[in-house]
A and B are shown apart, each in its own frame.
Chain A
């Protein structure tokens, strides 16, 4: 059974940093691109960042580019999101999601999410 399990969320002050992790199981992790998606309280889904299976290609939404870094360790079946210079507007539940196929950029499996709260 395919599973994605996020961790690393919590309360952080504005300007602080946090690293999210997403451990995958049940599929060949290195074969699939992986994506982070977030949902702020009371808001809709927002695509944040994607990384290719090899890790060689990465894209970001403008609002996080230069502050967030997506990475992966295929030997550990783990996806990461390093979040720096956090702002109140980064407060959200962060989901990791698996690509449905080969770079389809649609998502067939999602984790349950981890909550990040940026507040003083």
Chain B
């Protein structure tokens, strides 16, 4: 199975900050990497698919990039509604594993 290692596990930041979350795959997954936002009590929300493609309706302050087996989610300027948990997920081969998540908290 492909292991997805996400870092950091938690992060404190302020409104307006630029934030980066990293996900590393245990083997090559090409660009089959997706990012989700999850607010407790709500359904998770797809942000980025194919490593860098912004899902329709998602604000442009969210972006994704890739370098080999390392993937990055960047939020350019944090907004109050962005404080949530974020997960990467590989869609290269089943089981389509998630990273362990990053909890983004208000500083």
Interface residues of A (CB under 8 A from B): 35, 37, 44-47, 50, 59-62, 95, 97, 100, 104-113
Contacts and interface: CB of A to CB of B under 8 A. Distances in A.
B29 to A, nearest CB: 11
Contacts of A46: 98
Contacts of A60: 95
A44 B102 CA distance: 9
B38 A45 contact: yes
B91 interface: yes
A95 B95 CA distance: 16
B59 interface: no
B97 interface: yes
Q: How large is the interface on B (under 10, 10 to 19, 20 to 34, 35 or more residues)?
A: 20 to 34
Contact of A61 (B38, B95, B99): B95
Contacts of A107: 34, 36, 44, 46
A105 B32 CA distance: 9
A33 B92 CA distance: 15
Given A45-B101, A61-B95, A95-B43, 13 more contacts: A35-B96, A37-B98, A45-B89, A47-B97, A59-B94, A105-B32, A106-B91, A107-B34, A107-B36, A107-B46, A108-B46, A110-B43, A110-B45
Contacts of A61: 95
A95 B32 CA distance: 21
Contacts of B99: 44
Contacts of B1: 62
Contact of A95 (B44, B85, B94, B101): B44
